[in-house]
């Protein structure tokens, strides 16, 4: 699963747009988080993947990821 590498190869504006569209943002964030966890089995990646899976519908974490990408060029707490 290489969805995280595909996502990080996109322009920053495309990444932000993909994250701020309500349902699409949750699905993209879900795919990126689980793909990152499969590549690197770290506790942080697992915790964030589970949070996005179960609390992602509240949209706060996805907005935080969009802001974090704009500032730091990576997702919030992604290794």
Tens of pLDDT, residue by residue over 11-63, are: 999 988 988 888 888 888 889 889 989 988 899 888 888 988 888 667 787 88
Neighbours of 47 (CB within 10 A): 13
Q: What is the pLDDT of residue 55?
A: 82
Report d(CA 39, CA 32) in Å as an integer.
11
- Its pTM stands at 0.82
Report d(CA 63, CA 69) in Å as an integer.
10
The residue assigned the tokens 């935080």 is 64
Q: Which residues, other chains included, contact 1 with Cβ-Cβ below 8 Å and sequence gap of 6+?
A: 31, 34, 35, 38, 39
């Amino acid at each position: 699963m290489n969805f995280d590498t595909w996502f990080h190869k996109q322009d920053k504006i495309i990444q932000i747009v993909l994250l701020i569209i309500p349902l699409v943002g949750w699905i993209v964030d879900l795919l990126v988080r689980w793909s990152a966890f499969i590549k690197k089995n770290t506790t942080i990646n697992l915790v964030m993947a589970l949070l996005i899976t179960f609390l992602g519908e509240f949209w706060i974490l996805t907005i935080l990821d969009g802001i974090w990408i704009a500032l730091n060029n990576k997702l919030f707490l992604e290794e």
